[in-house]
Structure 1
Amino acid sequence: MINSSLSRDSIEQELRDIWGKLLGVEVGRDDNFFDLGGDSLKVVEVVIEARKRGVNFRSSAVFRNPTPALLAASLTP
Structure 2
Amino acid sequence: MTERVLTRLRAGERLHQQIVDGRRQWWFDEPFQDVPDAVVVKIRAGGEFALVEVGDSLFGLPENSQTWEGVDGV
| TM-score, with length taken from structure 1 | 0.34
| TM-score, with length taken from structure 2 | 0.35
Indicate the structure whose relative CO is greater, using CA pairs within 8 Å and at least 6 residues apart.
Answer: 1
Larger strand proportion of the pair: 2
Larger helix proportion of the pair: 1
Q: Which protein is bigger by CA-based radius of gyration? A: 2
